[in-house]
Structure 1
């Protein structure tokens, strides 16, 4: 036991740079693993690169790139553009489901901190949450 402790102390003294790297990368790798375990279930889609996601997969003509991906993954698939997750709807049945049947679920726009600040916490027609307030503003404008 004493020999094992002595050899481990010798390893720590011999490689402080390695210990520094392990102490730096260990928590980062642990956070990455935990975030992957807690990810929301997304539809199938291509795996992206770590930081840029699927940005490199898009052609200059975006609709053609999305059509190629739709042939492979179906009418509903997931892309990651940078740090933003996107669900692409490209089939007619899926589009009808999203736009007509479950329109109240998908009617809100995502708001960044800047949008919330500039619109006084979404108190305008363009970024207001779908609901009674939005309907009241719409009646005023229309």
Structure 2
């Protein structure tokens, strides 16, 4: 099925318009961002990390400076490569960097971030943390579970002992199945 010249020109025009709009939007968004290496569509800068990401990031920091912007897939990421820059960023942008990134899975599992671990920093997080410290982790509450902890420790030791007796040829016990 052959395309006529008008259809081809229309497709070309729409494609160029879309590319120009995308570039314009990305330029507006990146005005306040640190320098960034060139990125690929969809994967961003993932191809530049290699098998040893810490060394790749060090090499990139020599080119783009101690603070740089990377696009890791869909996630924009700011990489800090020096102690001085990290101190300055954590001092200046401490409230911006103290929450976890909003992830779809965490949002669904925690009923829209209504827990201590994934809740964004703010009034709700401070309130729920205070409740945890006062109600769950007080000295009195921790002592009340001492017998349960001792019972679990005894069960673990007995389980390890039974496993080592049942397989005398084996000198090691895989603790991952016992602990987790």
Q: TM-score range by the shorter chain?
A: 0.7 to 0.9
For residues 1-142 of structure 1, what are the structure 2 equivalents within 5 Å? 15-40=5-30, 41-142=32-133
1:27-56 CA-to-partner distances (Å, cap 9, x unmatched) read 422431332332232101211123321111
Question: Which of structure 1's runs of 4+ aligned residues deviate more than 4 A?
Answer: none
> How far apart are residue 129 of structure 1 and its match?
1.6
> Considering only CA atoms, is the larger Rg found in Structure 1 or Structure 2?
2
Shift in alpha-carbon separation, 1:139–1:57, aligned structure 2, 3 A: same
Q: Cα RMSD (Å) of the superposition?
A: 2.3
Q: Please, which runs of 5 or more residues in structure 1 have no aligned partner?
A: 1-13
Q: Please, which runs of 5 or more residues in structure 2 have no aligned partner?
A: 134-180
CA–CA separation in structure 2 for the residues paired with 1:16 and 1:27: 16
CA–CA separation in structure 1 for the residues paired with 2:93 and 2:62: 24
- RCO higher in 1 or 2 (8 Å CA, sep ≥ 6)? 1
> How far apart are residue 19 of structure 1 and its match?
2.9
CA–CA separation in structure 1 for the residues paired with 2:130 and 2:91: 21
1:6-34 CA-to-partner distances (Å, cap 9, x unmatched) read xxxxxxxx624413422542442243133
Q: Which residue of structure 2 aligns with residue 8 of structure 1?
A: none
Number of residue equivalences? 130
